[in-house]
Structure 1
């Protein structure tokens, strides 16, 4: 691992982040539509789902419109918008769904009952029924306003690339497009999502991950190993022990540097590995190959898991709201040193080398 004077870098990064965010604060708040008169407001501190009074039957359509934001830190314009935080469910049970567009998202009811809403804010979901992982719920400044009504408008539909799906805890987004094996990632202000494709492949010393990517814009100008600067685009492998390694491109952190995710809950399961550094190769196609077991042993521990169960594409611009843009092609996992490979997103779920 590349050695870094962690404490000195942290202090310098936070000073630069402070200056960056204070300069951007006025612009960021100008981009947020104020809560409208008559809207119900959620602070992010609610312990329970909020009933809306809107009763639906399965197949009936209803729309949700939203405004405002939960303000985590006003001076630095750290905010959480409805498109990340506002979720709905029906009849006091899952499944749960996130809004896609703040102006209006139209749902087709998947059950009978009363529509409820919840402001997730900085909490993490504990399953798909609407419970959050036990942690303090904070009422933030500002607030997310919403209005809800029955409608005949067509449902809002967002489709991920073929053979991929949105991770349940993040919901549907509009930032991924393309085919299953050629994917464009275009994050906007405040987006955060993981795209997944399942696999079932043995992991051994010869297993390697390869991909091609063209990164046009990095979503962070600062080192990504702090929570408030943790905006990035990456490709990850998920293991059968619940852990994952995610490979990213950093403007400043050196290639070979790896670190545990700085976010609560994720710190126990995710490790980040810098594979590209700097801006010289932005806008150029780059080929990458990683020997997965060796990386796991160096970054996490000696006991290498038995299987790879998924490949992820991750995109986050929630904290600094700078956005990023990259294109991924031909994400492959090679087995047993063979030239044969599994192509993530191709629809192939398991392939044994003879």
Structure 2
């Protein structure tokens, strides 16, 4: 499924258009068990004025099926929509690998806002916690898109320059916080296992208890730097860790 919207790439991800799936605890479709991406629950998202899209395909790596992403000066993402309340022990686990970082990538600047690999978690919009101007902007965006939109988001990145563990606002919007889970080229070519407590990360990023998750996406992009990116993503798993 393809969608096109008239917003810049990073801003569009910050305003990820997600429907409420209605399921209490939906499983994120595992890449390892898919026969095809089409119809799997993962949707392709393209951006306006970006003619080169990222190629996502199922491949076998080390005997396990994963998604390979290749971007050549462009951008697009894969999105799974869901409705998942966030308990204190809700954890997102995944593994990923990159071929290399962007030489000119820098999360602190709009022209460097590219990453070989990122995991995007979008949360429901909470009008009662938002100011009048934020509510009006959100309502205008909903009228433009014709559907409910999320509010804030966490963006787990394989950073180009930021030190591992750094947390900063996105260069385009402070409603998305970038968290450098990995950084630099030293681990390029190696699978890295990650585990993040979503309630803790949201609270540290925004100072509030998180609302429900409404979307999870993977994305490898190179539209701002004009470079190339190759990454591999293993299964994304939501689990309750004690």
Tell me if TM exceeds 0.5: yes
Residue 333 in 1 paired to residue 211 in 2? no
Partner Cα separation in structure 2 for residue 253 and residue 127 of structure 1: 24
Q: How far does the alpha carbon of each residue in 1:189-209 deviate from its partner, in whole angstroms, 9 at most, with x for none?
A: 2x1223200122220110011
Larger-Rg structure: 1
Q: Retained in 2: the 8 A contact 1:187–1:323? A: yes
Misfit runs of 4+, over 6 Å: 123-128
Partner Cα separation in structure 2 for residue 97 and residue 222 of structure 1: 25
Aligned residue for 2:215, secondary structure, equals strand
Q: What do you get for the CA RMSD once the two structures are aligned?
A: 3.1
Give the TM-score normalised by structure 2: 0.67
Q: How far does the alpha carbon of each residue in 1:104-154 deviate from its partner, in whole angstroms, 9 at most, with x for none?
A: xxxxxxxxxxxxxxxx695978999xxxxxxxxxxxxxxxxxxxxxxxxxx
Aligned counterpart for 1:249 among listed residues 146, 153, 158: 158
Change (3 A) 1:161 1:212: farther
Aligned counterpart for 2:224 among listed residues 283, 299, 319: 319
Residue 288 of structure 1: aligned partner: 194
Residue 236 in 1 paired to residue 120 in 2? yes
Residue 183 of structure 1: aligned partner: 67
Structure (1/2) with the larger strand percentage = 1
Partner Cα separation in structure 1 for residue 104 and residue 42 of structure 2: 29
Q: 1:162 Cα deviation (Å)?
A: 3.0
Aligned residue for 1:238, secondary structure, equals strand
Q: 1:188 Cα deviation (Å)?
A: 0.6
Residue 196 in 1 paired to residue 196 in 2? no
Change (3 A) 1:257 1:96: closer
Residue 135 of structure 2: aligned partner: none
Aligned length: 186
Aligned residue for 1:316, secondary structure, equals coil
Partner Cα separation in structure 2 for residue 220 and residue 300 of structure 1: 30
Give the TM-score normalised by structure 1: 0.47
Any gaps of 5 or more consecutive residues in structure 1?
Answer: 1-94, 99-119, 129-158, 339-354
Any gaps of 5 or more consecutive residues in structure 2?
Answer: 18-36, 60-64, 126-150
Aligned residue runs from structure 1 range 138-217, under 5 A: 162-167=40-45, 169=47, 173-178=53-58, 182-189=66-73, 191-217=74-100
Aligned residue runs from structure 1 range 337-352, under 5 A: 337=241
Residue 309 in 1 paired to residue 187 in 2? no
Q: How far does the alpha carbon of each residue in 1:252-281 deviate from its partner, in whole angstroms, 9 at most, with x for none?
A: 211111111112xxx043111000112211
